[in-house]
Structure 1
């Protein structure tokens, strides 16, 4: 679409929609239908987009009222309202005012839009493996207007029709069945109303596999260079997808409403996946190019089940505003773990406890903590900061606790009522509570107040005769709120780790008496079934708990004890050296791979890095290396545990010659062979300890794929040379053509625990220059780069002072959130190092 003399180019940054504005706009108009026409054949970095939107004034709103529409293109070609032109010069900061509205209105917006490289809007990726170009649209959270004009808020749903002109030979997918009318001309007609934030488009020469289940066409799609890997994975992908459909249809009592169900594995994806109705987009790392463990396949199964749960939680019934985002994410998180554990070959409750809940507990104890529900997000940009471990893991843990509290029959009946009452519309927390109350729940207002609307974690402690509850510290807690009820099990284990007794109880006040203690008891474990959300402490001394931990036989009991150790380290209650002893002792003998992997990661990334004085890091890394090496050597040849151990052997290896031998395929453990991912793991570690860029170049020649480029970016940023660091730094703080996935890799590779002397000069620069990147980036990428690059390896008072000084300045919301969370980690580590330095 050529620009003409009336074309306007927008330069000012778009405004973020406020909740007040959203409420006012939703009270003014109702959107009926949106037609989007795209031309993707235009050469260059832009494409043409035309939106035709039919909308009406709400009852009681007078004709002549006004509102605004969202458009974040690069050029506004023309706007017509009810057949009359609107002055394009009115377009300011991503908005076009619409005045003198009629009872029924037709709006046409024609513009030029820019392809993105940051994973938002219409993202374009050229696969270095074969030069083919791929597109996918990410409209979340407020990115939809970057590829089509719209009224962009979750409670203005609309029916849609998309007409797309694409290069001949491409596949085009969207939220409904797509059909090719003639070569290059595609039509997509979604079957149900959609919110703007999950309208999507996937286009390119994708490789595809198709299945069918219960009348639902299933599609699986990936870049052509991953076609062979997709074929190898599709049986497992389809199995999990089919099992999830069976489970959710039975559980929710409402059939999947969006027609076909496509899963597109796309490049440079910011999140794990996005729940676009009928066309879920997932990161293409889930199409494994090499050997994958059962734990990794289980994690993928969890993501598949999570995004499918969203077809009900979020897509069928959508939150009215972002402060109720937990209605999407907490439920999808809970439902996915329940679905996988009950309906697939991948039980996930151990993974939930050891991985997801630890993520959430860190977030809930940070200064940035917030309630699960009713976060009061003043605008869309602020809401993005609350998509964290609280909205996902804590919310899911609270729902698991609620199911125990209400009983499953009432819990599920309430959900089914909620879907029936609000299908294809929007809802709030109050609507869900009302559904549970109709199903028979009692006193949910009080329960909601203390569990969903109060931040922070209770602490549960056993003093020998009672289970004690301590509320969160102010200001996270609501001092006027009643105590949280906790329904949980307390297990007694003997000196061999065998459970000799278990009692179920509910703490409704600040303590609950325990029954008689079995004389064989060596340790009482609160919340032994991992059923509640709280910090756990023991009557026994930490050294005694550490000695017993490797012998505890019940997996979930081991999970809660490990989590207690991790939390106590962060709280400055346990010497990291003692925690390292305990956790390495467990990793050496445990029989749950997901637990071993989580423990080794914590030891490597935390106990031998941030929570260790620089002078002591090498010794701790060597200890982890020894345990991992023994694990790889003692495990069955070709087993997942052998591969898990070998990965951490590589990650902690300081012997360059040994790494080089592995890189040539020599001296590998029997049963293991090099694949692209394992090769890159060796290259990244070798690059971190030896300044030899040739090894990266050679690996990239062998694997010139998109994944290879990401690994290479990470390896180059980790090279131990001043020149490499300067190049990496420039990519982080200056305008860069790197796609977001490579930029994140550079950020993760910069401040390495073994390179503190080399990177010390960048500490003041980080806190001075990173905030300025708000002029270069927005949305997800802005906060993610700051978070990934945060100098956690420099846990010193000097770093803390620099961080606190930066926080005292005016920062963009995504930068501030990442700075707050990173600063809290450094602050906790500094306290721990000061307390335990003498030991």
Structure 2
């Protein structure tokens, strides 16, 4: 028996290429004993049948103890296990490897995660295998291009539900066999096991299942009709789009606790964050966002699962396509109009990432190992990639675009492929000069700027490269296909015919009548920073309040946010735009997102400390103006009230709301709204009674997460120190409670109290790599970043930390956080 694998080594691209060239994996059988989930560990036995053309290789195993290894009937010394790898020597042409180990349940959402629901004490398991996590629950050749047939044999309590990548067949009471119908990459193998509540259905011959822990059964049953309808519509849409039926048999969607990502596209058994089944009132906007995630994961069943990337460099092939196709699917095949959400939420996320020091090309990132690839799992791989695909569809035409996708799926089904294979498919479909297009869009970083100039012949749209990167032959010019929009004094919008700009630095668009505002991207197709001419912000302030077209308004709002972050627009003037225009914005998602930006940025890091309270009061008045204008019980009223709660300065008023008094007509205090009130009250009070009362009333997992955030928000030195120790020292706290602690720690109104922790963050956060790993390591570092400390001293401390040794996940968090802080400091320097 061997224990403690001396840390873990992330698989490098070179190692993966060498192993893929010499190893062929035929089938994998994993046997797990989960009969006593109260234990901290479980046993895992893996039998791998594989071919080899060389004498030696290695297999991945990240358990607690390695009990035995047998290769072709001969024991292997388990003490050779190092850094989560078991060396294999004396290989034959055909081999049988048997590995038995003791594995640890995880609490960080990776490997085989165990959650004990505080609502009823029941235990729930699910497996997350993405990137380096599969070896945490079974031995495997863990890389995306070694697909194999997998079988899982599970022993568990008889009354459990057991799900996986294929139908779960009961062999005897308490024993299930799961045999997925097609070869799988290790990173999307999964298992869901526990006393899950289920709603089942069927569509077009495909068995469907929705699953969640028992304490949320009522919420699942209430939302199931909508989710099943979206699932059915998405299957119909993708069957027609790809021309290939869904190939993985049953289709389960499990909403699991403590999930780090939004969802994971495991074939046949998609796992989702359980927040997609809210405990409180669900707005249409929230249902639309969930529909987008459902369609996104379903698109992966073809783009990612049926055809899989060879290496993580092509991760964008999975995510960008799923992002783009999901928004097409939901907008075309359901009642949810999802493109405004894409613009105001997803594109803003991606544009921040694309303008940060950690930006990277959409494709061809040459990630040296799997851990480095995880750092590029961001808004560029999702939102920028999807936006670029929208540009490509406009550039080559929809017919060519879709025919190329069908060709690619048909040729590479059940195998692996590269971006070059996709370009060849589009070329066969009729696209021309794609290498130049790909070089301009996918191999470069940063955002061009599209601006307007008034010309005697009309309006001139001007494209310019990112600062410091002129069009001087360093890269191809990006061709932007856009439609100019003209907004008149009544807010009426005229959208002109498409034009191409960028291949040539400017283009003149004839305009018949004058306009109050000219926007270079009225249909939100561009991936670019927008500006509106030399007096553009005055024009925005005049025209935006009357602009009722969601599609055209979203890129204008994004331009306001971007210009604030660029220090080219005074945050105080941006707040005037918010005050004037946001109450009339037609889309609820725009109201919610822009109010959040105004509260967190315009009244937060981008405001002088002495002005933060006054600016927050102004944002609160905007929120209340929306609440007052909305009808009682409407989604719009609730969306605005949620943000008004975050800005409320009166602790007594919050206490009254908590008790259900003095609420606007039509607003009811559901579980989530109660906790929002408690969290805001906690930021204003040194007392603890409301928090403890709320936790006693709601001791659920969600309640615990909210309570952790509320404790961290308390303006009390002892509470801050206790929260800080949770962030920078080993803790038994669950991952989501740690994330919430980081979220709650920094408050724009507590600068004096939190000032000593700014330097401490930069001095201490690097040390967390000694006891955290993977997603949790980077996420805690991100959430705990001192985002409100926009001072030169904070930048000095940040730069000192970045000059030292940091784990990759921590370095990415500090790099991105520091860029946001640096932008706020520059804005304050310029505008105050």
TM-score range, shorter chain: over 0.9
User: Which one of the candidate residues 386, 400, 406 is aligned to 2:396?
Assistant: 406
SS of 1:238 mapped into structure 2: helix
* Cα root mean square deviation, aligned: 1.2
How far off its partner does 1:765 sit?
0.8
Task: Describe the SS at the equivalent of 1:142.
Answer: helix
What is the CA distance between 1:44 and its match in structure 2? 1.5
The one-character-per-residue Cα deviations of 1:595-642 (angstroms, maximum 9, x if unpaired) are: 111110110111110111111000010011111122112210100011
The DSSP-based 3-state class of the residue aligned with 2:296 is helix
1:670-709 to 2 correspondence within 5 Å? 670-709=665-704
What residue number does 1:3 align with? none
Task: Note if 1:26 corresponds to 2:20.
Answer: yes
Residues 36 and 636 (structure 1), Cα distance of their counterparts in 2 relative to 1, 3 Å cut: same
8 Å CA contact retained: 2:483, 2:495: no
Q: 1:44-97: per-residue Cα shift (whole Å, max 9, x none)?
A: 20000000000002xxx35xx210000000000000011100000110000000
Offset, 1:676: 0.4
Do structure 1's residue 491 and structure 2's residue 481 form an aligned pair? no
Match of 1:255 in 2: 245
Q: Tell me what 2:639 maps to.
A: 644
Which residue of 498, 509, 532 corresponds with 1:504? 498
Structure 1 pair 348/706, CA: closer, same or farther in 2 (3 Å)? same
- Does the Cα contact within 8 Å between 1:179 and 1:186 map onto a contact in 2? yes
> Quick one: structure 1 residues 706 and 476, their matched pair in 2 at CA, closer, same or farther if it must change by over 3 Å?
farther
Q: Distance in 1 between matches of 2:608 and 2:806?
A: 30
Cα distance between partner residues in 1 of 2:495 and 2:765? 54
Report the alpha carbon displacement of residue 473 of structure 1 after superposing the two structures with TM.
Answer: 3.1
Flag the 1:478–1:684 CA change in 2: closer, same or farther, 3 A.
Answer: farther
Residue of structure 2 in register with 1:12 after alignment: 6
Distance, in Å, in 2 between the alignment partners of 1:90 and 1:523 is: 69
Task: Determine if contact 1:54/1:107 at 8 Å carries over to the other structure.
Answer: yes
Give the distance between the partners of 1:639 and 1:267, measured in 2 at CA: 29
Separation of aligned partners in 1, 2:333 and 2:416 = 29
- Within the candidate set 281, 286, 293, 1:291 is matched to 281
- Describe the SS at the equivalent of 2:192: strand
**Secondary structure at 1:96 match in 2:** strand
Aligned to 1:303: 293
Is the CA contact 2:312–2:367 (under 8 Å) kept in the aligned structure 1? yes
Residue 51 of structure 2 is aligned to residue 56 of structure 1: yes
Find 2:586's aligned residue among 583, 591, 615: 591
User: In the TM superposition, what is the alpha-carbon distance from 1:591 to its structure 2 partner?
Assistant: 1.5
The answer to whether the Cα contact below 8 Å between 2:66 and 2:78 also exists between their aligned partners in 1 is yes
Deviates more, 1:295-304 or 1:533-542: 533-542
Between the aligned partners of 1:66 and 1:513, the Cα distance in structure 2 is 61
Contact map agreement 2:113 2:126 (CA 8 A) in 1: yes
Distance of 1:541 and 1:380 partners within structure 2: 45
- How far apart in 2 are the matches of 1:762 and 1:385? 26
Q: Return the offset for 1:555.
A: 1.4
Cα offset, 1:476, TM superposition: 11
1:231 aligns with 2:225: no
CA contact (8 A) 2:517 2:536 kept: no
Please state how far the C-alpha of 1:644 moved relative to its aligned partner: 1.0
The one of 117, 127, 131 aligned to 1:141: 131
Residue among 184, 206, 209 paired with 2:199: 209
Structure 2 CA distance, aligned partners of 1:585 and 1:30?
Answer: 64
CA distance in 2: counterparts of 1:189 and 1:136, whole angstroms: 17
Shift in CA distance, 774/479, structure 1 to aligned 2, threshold 3 Å: farther
Q: Residue 105 of structure 2 aligns with which residue?
A: 115
Return the match for 2:809 from 798, 814, 817: 814
Q: What secondary structure is seen at the aligned counterpart in 1 of 2:484? A: strand
Cα deviation, 1:744-803, whole Å, max 9, x if unaligned, reads 000101111111111111111100111100001011010111111111101100101100
Matches within 5 A, 1:544-693: 544-693=539-688
Residue 773 (1) aligns with residue 763 (2)? no
Structure 1 residue 152 and structure 2 residue 142: aligned?
yes
> Is the Cα contact below 8 Å between 2:487 and 2:543 reproduced in 1?
no
Q: Secondary structure at the match of 2:541?
A: helix
Distance 1:510 1:162 in 2: 57
**1:751 and 2:741 are equivalent in the alignment:** no
Task: Give the distance between the partners of 2:471 and 2:557, measured in 1 at CA.
Answer: 25
Conserved 8 A contact 2:541-2:581: no
Equivalent-residue separation in structure 2 for 1:356 and 1:36 (angstroms): 38
State the SS of the aligned residue for 1:312: coil
Quote the offset at 1:584 in angstroms: 2.8
Q: Which moved more, 1:351-360 or 1:519-528?
A: 519-528
Distance 2:754 2:548 in 1: 44
Structure 2 distance, partners of 1:157, 1:769, is: 41
Residues 543, 578 of structure 1: 8 Å contact kept: no
Unpaired segments of 5 or more residues in structure 1? 1-6
* Equivalence for 1:95: 85
Q: Which residue of structure 1 aligns with residue 712 of structure 2? A: 717
Map Cα deviations across residues 313-333 of structure 1 (whole Å, 9 max, x no partner): 110011100011001000000
After TM superposition, give the deviation of residue 477 of structure 1 in Å.
8.8
Contact 2:303 2:318 in 1 (8 A): yes
Secondary structure of 1:136's aligned partner: strand
> Over residues 566-616 of structure 1, what are the superposed CA-to-partner deviations in whole Å (9 max), with x where a residue is unaligned?
111111100001111112322211121011111101101111101111110
**Aligned to 2:44, what secondary structure does the other structure show?**
strand
For residue 16 of structure 1, give the secondary structure of its aligned residue in structure 2: coil
Per-residue CA deviations over 1:250-296 (Å, capped at 9, x if unaligned) read 01111101000000000001011000000000011111211011111
